[in-house]
Structure 1
Amino acid sequence: MNLYPLGKTLCKTWFSLFTRVTVIGKENIPDDGPVLLCSNHISNMDPPFVGSFMKRRIHFMAKEELFNKRVLGRLLPSLGAFPVKRGVGDRQALRKGLSLLEKGEVLCLFPEGTRSKTGEIGEGLSGSGFFALRSKAEVVPVVIFGPYKPLGKVAVVYGKPMNFQTLRDEKVSAAKATEKIMESIQELKDKHIETVINNE
């Protein structure tokens, strides 16, 4: 059962009614072809928020523990999520992610691997660099501003696609590629933070 369209509609409606949403840079998302979205991570609400205001369907990695829960385990696959084992090199999850990108899908990752308690952007894990280097996907940095409070300001900014072909040609490490991605997310945050804060 494909619950993605319904879930997207419900989430978009909820965010629009109960928070003050700002969306910047939707035009930076390619209309077709493989796309790797790499976002900071501040809340469990990040995945539905990132996807709610995009035309294209997004696939997410989610920690394996969530799929062991009776209800969530059945819902998550129909909402575009697939499991990943944290703290180990999960080859099955890596193959799944690459397969989606090879099919021209959109894959969203949160490179930090866990939520930031301070809101500051931390170091990224090498998985995002792996996907960026091993696929032909357009790599789009994303930054989310919160917190998700009733009637509070919340924003998502989609940056311009990064040019990863040079890094692919240079055969840099996945860790180095991830570092470049995190730098782009930080630059995106620094560029837009005043606009988001002052937007009423």
Structure 2
Amino acid sequence: MFYNFARALARCFMLVFKGMRVEGLENVPKTGPYIVIANHESYLDPVAVGCALPHQVYFMAKKELFAVPLLGFIIKKLGAFPVKRDEVDLTAVKTALRHLKDGKVVGIFPEGTRLKTLGEFHEGAASLALKAAVPVLPVGLINVRGLKRCRVVIGKPIYDLPYSKNDLERGAKYLREKVLELL
């Protein structure tokens, strides 16, 4: 209930102040589970993705955000869960897998940090997609950071991943290309 209330408020904000436009809604799977991957250029990126998609998204968020008193409380109530960056965080992986097993949608920013242009993707999203055996939904976020009208472009879901657990570097590059095509 809190998620739906927060999303309604956020949608108003994104429509009025950012002129948000969503393209490709027909590509969103009707039900979960699936993994959403997107580029990451702004603090508003999770808001934009959450407003654009019809399902609640459980985002992986850097652990440090949960230490900020009010923000940590809010993002936890919205379903976000912490991930330790710069290492393999088995607790975060297990949490993501549990959410996916329960039919939920997990959101990941595979760059691992905010960047002005699309950076290299870490292998975590590619690995999680293989382990969970669920579709991956690529999303391109355009102008969420700036003052211009922002766009959320949703690509076609990827059901058959063309890489293996022995070639996660190739998998990360493949997923990056799918997001890059949307930008």
Q: What range describes the TM-score normalised by the shorter chain of this pair?
A: over 0.9
What is the RMSD computed on CA atoms of the aligned residues?
1.5
Residue number in structure 2 paired with 1:39: 38
Residue number in structure 2 paired with 1:89: 88
TM-score in terms of structure 2 length: 0.93
1:160-191 Cα offsets, whole Å, 9 max, x none, are 01133553xx54432221111001111222xx
Gaps of 5+ in 1: 190-200
The one-letter code sitting in structure 2 at the alignment partner of 1:53 is A
The one-letter code sitting in structure 2 at the alignment partner of 1:160 is K
TM-score in terms of structure 1 length: 0.86
CA distance in 2, matches of 1:172, 1:105: 27
Provide closer, same or farther for how the CA distance between residues 186 and 165 of structure 1 changes in structure 2, counting only shifts above 3 A. closer
Residue number in structure 1 paired with 2:159: 163
User: Does 1:184 find its partner at 2:178?
Assistant: yes
CA distance in 2, matches of 1:147, 1:35: 23
Q: Displacement, 1:12?
A: 0.2
SS across alignment from 2:181: helix
Contact in 2 for aligned 1:133/1:174 (Cα 8 Å): no
Contact in 1 for aligned 2:162/2:171 (Cα 8 Å): no
Contact in 1 for aligned 2:144/2:151 (Cα 8 Å): no
Residue number in structure 1 paired with 2:141: 144
Residue number in structure 2 paired with 1:121: 118
CA distance in 2, matches of 1:178, 1:124: 5
Aligned residues: 183
Contact in 2 for aligned 1:139/1:164 (Cα 8 Å): no
CA distance in 1, matches of 2:82, 2:62: 6
Residue number in structure 2 paired with 1:173: 167
Q: Displacement, 1:102?
A: 1.2
Q: Displacement, 1:17?
A: 1.0
Provide closer, same or farther for how the CA distance between residues 84 and 106 of structure 1 changes in structure 2, counting only shifts above 3 A. same
Residue number in structure 2 paired with 1:58: 57
SS across alignment from 1:156: strand
1:103-135 Cα offsets, whole Å, 9 max, x none, are 111111110011113xx2110011101111111
1:63-116 Cα offsets, whole Å, 9 max, x none, are 111111221222111112110111111110011011111111111111001111
User: Does 1:14 find its partner at 2:13?
Assistant: yes
CA distance in 2, matches of 1:100, 1:18: 32
The one-letter code sitting in structure 1 at the alignment partner of 2:130 is L
Residue number in structure 2 paired with 1:107: 106
Gaps of 5+ in 2: none
Contact in 1 for aligned 2:127/2:165 (Cα 8 Å): no
SS across alignment from 1:101: helix
Query: Segments of 4+ in structure 1 off by > 4 A?
Result: none
Q: Displacement, 1:20?
A: 1.8
